[in-house]
Chain A
């Protein structure tokens, strides 16, 4: 229900009332019509997170690598053991969107 899928704005429709502005958003090659009423100053090329046809927010590209920065930061405090390498199931394999 709370699924949000990232996509890139490709087209923005003109509408005098900001409440009814929509746009075409590209989700890995699939274009969908999305309501952009919740996005202030939406621009073509912006990445947004979309839920049930409504863009919830712009994604912040600068913060996007923050998971990896945090990992790098905390890893500096010592080497990590990787002996449990058989545990994680499918993290690398399952990259499809479901």
Chain B
């Protein structure tokens, strides 16, 4: 398939790893921010192809993983209400709240539906005027434009039976939290290609300068990641700390202004709690006042209280890149994709799920 298969070419990948070996003269640690990249890395064994002196640290870039447990509990309460159809992306339905998950609500008779896009939830709302449709909106800047487009469609169609529980998060403030950590070992970053496809990368320039780290905007295929790693290592070896763009076919410095405009029209920036990490100022999106009637948090007064995670789950450490999934005592025994204790074991972008799926299966 065009734009996909050619970026999985084995020979070019091996050339890249050979060149990386020639390039590095000392130990370096690089964080790939996005969980989608983590999956490519673990799936294709890219980390195992690199010289021992290069460590890849997996980042917090998994929106499902960082959605606060209180919001999941809120979604579970709303899904249990009579007359409500709750819709969200597949992974979100399996993430454990404090005592259940959304699929549990479905099993006990609730109407919980998996959708591919928030626009599907709009269609469900239009087709079921006697029901209340609630979309549980999670995602990074990549997903925010389509969520915003759904709100605008709901307004355009005059749907008053549609609302959303918004848990959108933004990447740059999380990178800053990781970098300001006390013993942060990260020397360079691969930034998430699809987040930057929308936003561009001007926001990363002051971060690279302030913390003295190179940042390379990187795509998702094996060759993209190998090139991104090579570019990042080259900067490190040369003592540069620039923002560079590996994912040229999709990303421009300014991003997609039309998509950004759609997103800004509907959302404004707010503080947000990240599961496993804590409250990060300016790291979330919420509906603007003009769209308050689509805010499920306001429409349904369900209470939620602070809850603790299962003690054994070290997902906070995993999300901050301090620990690898294999260092968790529960990994693969008490905690599995069938019975996840923490969100990183559920999501298609969670590091624990990636290790379980690709590493345990291969016996490595």
Contacts and interface: CB of A to CB of B under 8 A. Distances in A.
A54 B348 CA distance: 20
Contacts of A68: 6, 12
B248 interface: yes
Nearest to A75: B15
Interface residues of A, number: 50
Contacts of B18: 80-82, 84
Interface stretch (B142-150, B269-277, B293-301, B333-341): B142-150
Nearest to A83: B18
At the interface, is chain A mostly helix, strand, loop or mixed?
loop
B45 interface: yes
A25 B86 CA distance: 28
At the interface, is chain B mostly helix, strand, loop or mixed?
helix
Interface in B146-164: 146, 149, 152-153, 156
Interface string A33-76: 00101111000000101011110110111011011101100110
Contacts of B116: 52-53
A56 B19 contact: no
Given A19-B149, A38-B258, A52-B116, A2 B1 contact: no
A95 B4 contact: yes
Given A38-B256, A52-B116, A84-B17, A2 B140 contact: yes
Contacts of A85: 14
B230 to A, nearest CB: 7
B145 A2 contact: no
Interface residues of B, number: 77
Contacts, number: 191
Interface string A3-39: 1101000000000010110000001100000010111
B142 A2 contact: yes
A2 B249 contact: no
A95 B5 CA distance: 5
B3 A59 contact: yes
A90 to B, nearest CB: 6
20 contacts: A2-B143, A3-B220, A4-B250, A6-B4, A38-B259, A49-B197, A51-B142, A51-B194, A52-B118, A57-B256, A59-B250, A67-B12, A80-B18, A80-B19, A81-B21, A82-B18, A85-B14, A88-B49, A90-B45, A95-B8
Interface of B: 1-10, 12-19, 21-22, 34-36, 43-46, 48-49, 61-64, 89, 91, 116-120, 138-140, 142-143, 145-146, 149, 152-153, 156, 192-195, 197-198, 220, 222-224, 227, 230-231, 246, 248-251, 256, 258-259, 262, 347-349, 362
